[in-house]
Amino acid sequence: MNGPKHKLCTKLSSTYLRKWWITIAIGAILIIGGVLVACQFTALINAVIDRTIALRVGTKTFGWWAKPPVEPKISLYVYNVTNADDFLSNGSKAIVDEVGPYVYSETWEKVNIVENDNGTLSYNLRKIYKFREDLSVGPEDDVVIVPNIPMLSATSQSKHAARFLRLAMASIMDILKIKPFVQVSVGQLLWGYEDPLLKLAKDVVPKEQKLPYEEFGLLYGKNGTSSDRVTVFTGTDDIKHYGIIDRFNGRTHLPHWTSDECNRLDGTDGSIFPPHIEKSRILEVYDKDLCRLLPLVFDKEVMTNNEVPAYRFTPPEWVFADVDSRPENMCYCPAGKPSCSPNGLFNVSLCQYDSPIMLSFPHFYLADDSLRTQVEGISPPNKEDHQFFFDVQPKMGTTLRVSARIQINLAVSQVFDIKQVANFPDIIFPILWFEEGIDGLPNEVTDLMRFAETIPPKIRVGLIIALSALGVALLVLSTFCLIRNSHRQSTLHLEGSNYLATAQVDMNKKQNKDNAPGNQRYLRSRLESDLCGTKTLTMANYCFWLKIVSLSLFCALNLYLFIVSCGCNYQDVVAREHIKFRQEMPTMDSWINSPFGKLKSYLFNVTNAEDFLSGKDSKVRLEQVGPITYHILGYNDIINRTKDSVTYNKHRYRHVKFMPEESVSPDILNKTIVQFNSVLLGAAAQTARSYISIATIGFDAVTVNEPLFLSDSIYYFLWEFTRPSLQVMSAFLPLSSNCGPLHNALKEKEEVFKVNIGTDHGVDNFFRIQTLNDEQLIKEQSNRIFIDDSCPINVEGAHDNSLFPPNIKKNTSLNIVASESCRILPLHYQREEELDGINAYRYALLLPNETAPECLSVTNGVRLPKGMFDVSKCVINDAPAAFSMPHFYGSSYDWTEHFEGLNPNAEEHEGNILLEPTTGIPIKENYRFQSNTIMPNMRSYSQQRLKKLSYMIVPTFWYEFELDRLPGFVTFLIRFDVKVLPVLQPILMALMLLGAAWSLYALIRLRRQLCHKICTTDVQLETVLNQHPQAHPTLEHVKE
């Protein structure tokens, strides 16, 4: 039990050595951590990237995908035929002159976006082209001579038709004077010109066979929103399907080709690809005009703008190869081998209404050179200028740079029976080629990509080295100290001990007993001064001084942090960082994709229209119908950002989606109600102000058959409210024919804000507006005759209602821009209120019986009651309208004189905003207003029905915007700032002070040990077996 092993275990497990065992365990854990980082860190980063880039509505990635922050360009080069007559009459080679570039900038946006239940999004693509003469070789009016594509398509298709049809076609072309070449401007060639053959076809071809265009242009119908409905996977369920097309116009496969493999549609649109791309992967892009999936293979590594690395992918050489070179392309020959394209061409006639259009790469790159030499004037192709490529960021699958280069050719067949083309040989005639794409993404995007590409690998290497090195160092040092201290544990110090005398007595007894010189022992005490002892002492000194340095640094750091913390407030530090409005802010996604919430509309159904008109009832009985709820998602598109300002375009209603489950009933839009004819009321009110009796008489005559009340669906009143008379007048006057309130309210409206950010303006001025649409006055109100400083139309210093300054006080002056009413609304502090455990300030948008500013106190010559203000300059057709709170709550207007059925109350009808004062973030909004038509004195009208409306204020509808709950991480940050930081600061400061005091105390104790080491002599005792026994062993004291 007491053998050497037991003694060793007892020694190593002693309390004195426990700290070194703990240090060994820590070192081992650090080494294991380094191994785990080496194995799993990349997978963790990839998981974060996958979640970040997946298309979730409301995220920054979704915003970039829906409206790419780039300006694509398309450059077109037209092959101008310079010897058309000689080519047709003498049979000489056609000579072409490449003219270009003609450059158009593009704006891309995905609209009508709908989320589907299977992890997909459906959308329509909007492309807007704008000619850039500054980048072009000339104007769009430049004239070129090109093959007559409609004519040559018709003649080529008739080659195998009955001969009398070809003769008839020749006669028609002769009558219409149609020639094989046309002289048109570049703009006409691209966007459309009237072709006599198409015009004839429009009149004689059956409706079901008509072409979907009336003019011919290579880009005809592409400038605007496409009717093609595209459905793509979001990547939220499976990142491997990220960006992959699920359906195109409801189809999962094309109908053109002979195999499912060639009819596949499961590529991307080219803007994004599934992430974590390897060089061996084949990417696939689908474009309707390509009529197929276009494969892309790795070419080389490149460096794009802002030093973001990318993989360049290009179409493989076999993509347009003939079937002899690549039999797999046989599926693209729907009529067998005779219909196969020559090497380097692709037949897209099935996608182009059977026009014999052939696609190739520019200058017949990768095609047989004999195709290029069929005409003169085309230089040999080169990879640099004519290669089609995508530069893709491999980790995130985002396209960084594109140059999509395609040439359009016409496959002309010689038809001898049609004299106009009898001399036109079989030829692949080049028309034009174009290069479409982007040169790079903005720095805002590439900065994040460069960060994701370069920083995580460095962090991984740094963590591996740091954890492994620290773990090995701790392991080696602690093992050494463990061995050394276990040795020192068995060493006796002579100071203050009687061990020498005891040893002497024991040795004498042993000598007398044994009396054997060979078995005699002696004790010798000496100072260890050999090399081993010196090394041990040196390492001990290292450990000692390391403790002193570490404790000194720890003490100094804690004192510094404590002093700094005494001079600042952690909430103020967070506020100063918040107002810098950095792109990396965790709340940035939430702000960019705002406002977000529910728009609830309420209409008033007139239940006694007939009785009111007949005089049986003197009051109009109203019944509220609603809510009719739509989900709203906006978008703030940052245009420019500096240190002290940010300019952005606010799209308030980017996505609008009807929510049947949140409405009063799922089919509420189809419900029929009766409403005032607001078109009639508005026109009558304005005419009554003319003070010319003949005007009212004429109005009576014109509108005698126009009903005062209309019965129709709720959808009609909200979205399609129009009248025949208004439609007629809108053809001659600048009037809107559709008076639907939601149709007009949710239209895209230009709102470009420039607001303060940064510390230079101070915390109190954060996000206060500098200009709106480069002006300080609201444009719609700037033409008022009488404007003074009291008129609330100056946006300077107001807010856009998305963010407010931090550390708001109850008396802080806050105003917001109310775009729907074209004015500035002051926020009136009411009281403190708690929501979900967060204390907030409640502000009212309009106070009961609030007097309107003088410039907004009159509508159509009628002085408004308290609690209302004029909005006639802000609504369609300058209708005599005023806003109040719903049901006339807080208004001095005595609505009971004219109406029944209203129930005004503060809880349901008062507009309010809840602001968290520390962060300045709105946590709840109930934005409520009612639109009313103001009727003046109508006695001048002969119609009794109009006279009855004198001085009536007719409620049209009211709406409420209810802010959705803030995202969880935003709420967490608010709670952390408001509730945790004030408690955390004193705790951390106490810990800092405690840490400094502990380290100072430890330094004092180390000072005593230092003095002890310097001032005392350490003598150690060693027992040595004398291999040469002496008769009289002695105890020798070795002196220093």
Percent of the chain's residues with pLDDT above 90? 34
Mean pLDDT of 1017-1034: 49
Mean pLDDT of 733-744: 76
User: Which pLDDT band holds residue 700 (cuts at 50, 70, 90)?
Assistant: low
User: Which pLDDT band holds residue 903 (cuts at 50, 70, 90)?
Assistant: very high
Tokens of 420: 């106009």
Q: CA torsion angle for 12, 15, 19, 20 (degrees, to 10)? A: -10
Question: CA–CA separation, 843 vs 917, rounded Å?
Answer: 11
pLDDT at 703 (0 to 100): 62
Lowest mean pLDDT among 25-39, 217-231, 315-329: 25-39
Determine the 3-state secondary structure of 303 from DSSP: strand
Determine the 3-state secondary structure of 109 from DSSP: strand
Q: Answer with the residue of higher pLDDT: 485 or 443.
A: 443
| Residue-wise pLDDT tens digits, 950-987 | 889 999 999 999 998 888 888 888 888 888 888 888 88
Question: CA–CA separation, 634 vs 640, rounded Å?
Answer: 19
Mean pLDDT of 778-787: 72
Radius of gyration for the chain, computed over Cα atoms and rounded to the nearest angstrom: 43
Determine the 3-state secondary structure of 510 from DSSP: helix
Q: Is the peptide bond before 627 cis (omega within 30 degrees of 0)?
A: yes
Mean pLDDT of 820-824: 89
Alpha helices per DSSP H over 158-195: 163-176, 186-191
| Residue-wise pLDDT tens digits, 269-307 | 988 999 999 999 999 999 888 889 999 999 999 988 878
User: CB atoms < 10 A from the CB of 141, how many?
Assistant: 9
| Residue-wise pLDDT tens digits, 830-841 | 999 988 889 999
Q: Is the peptide bond before 1029 cis (omega within 30 degrees of 0)?
A: no
726 pLDDT higher than 70: no
pLDDT at 529 (0 to 100): 43
pLDDT at 245 (0 to 100): 93
User: Which pLDDT band holds residue 531 (cuts at 50, 70, 90)?
Assistant: very low
User: Pick from 869, 874, 866, 845: which is nearest to 858 by CA?
Assistant: 869
Q: CA torsion angle for 504, 509, 511, 513 (degrees, to 10)? A: -170
Mean pLDDT of 449-456: 78
Question: CA–CA separation, 533 vs 54, rounded Å?
Answer: 65
Question: CA–CA separation, 872 vs 879, rounded Å?
Answer: 6
Question: CA–CA separation, 1023 vs 150, rounded Å?
Answer: 115
345 pLDDT higher than 60: yes
101 pLDDT higher than 50: yes
Question: CA–CA separation, 165 vs 784, rounded Å?
Answer: 69
pLDDT at 465 (0 to 100): 83
| Residue-wise pLDDT tens digits, 932-953 | 999 988 877 777 888 888 889 9
pLDDT at 694 (0 to 100): 46
139 pLDDT higher than 60: yes
Tokens of 587: 């709340």
pLDDT at 815 (0 to 100): 93
Q: Mean pLDDT across the chain, nearest whole number? A: 82
Tokens of 514: 């044994």
User: Pick from 737, 685, 760, 703: which is nearest to 954 by CA?
Assistant: 685
4 pLDDT higher than 60: no
Q: Residue 401 burial (CB < 10 Å; 0-12/13-18/19+)?
A: buried
Question: CA–CA separation, 225 vs 863, rounded Å?
Answer: 46
| Residue where the block lists tokens 């009819």 | 263
User: Which pLDDT band holds residue 673 (cuts at 50, 70, 90)?
Assistant: very high
pLDDT at 940 (0 to 100): 73
Handedness of CA 207, 208, 211, 212 (dihedral sign): positive
pLDDT at 543 (0 to 100): 65
| Residue-wise pLDDT tens digits, 32-63 | 887 888 887 878 888 888 888 889 888 888 88
CA angle 66, 72, 73 (to 5 degrees): 155
User: Which pLDDT band holds residue 734 (cuts at 50, 70, 90)?
Assistant: low
Handedness of CA 706, 710, 716, 717 (dihedral sign): positive
Lowest mean pLDDT among 404-413, 490-499, 772-781: 490-499
868 pLDDT higher than 90: yes
pLDDT at 672 (0 to 100): 93
| Residue-wise pLDDT tens digits, 235-277 | 988 899 999 999 999 888 988 888 888 999 999 998 899 999 9
Half-sphere exposure of 355 (CA within 13 A, CB side): 19
pLDDT at 523 (0 to 100): 38
Q: Answer with the residue of higher pLDDT: 560 or 816.
A: 816
User: CB atoms < 10 A from the CB of 757, how many?
Assistant: 22
| Residue where the block lists tokens 């209302």 | 868
Tokens of 975: 């709670």
Question: CA–CA separation, 607 vs 595, rounded Å?
Answer: 36
Backbone phi, psi, residue 1000, to 5°: -70, -40
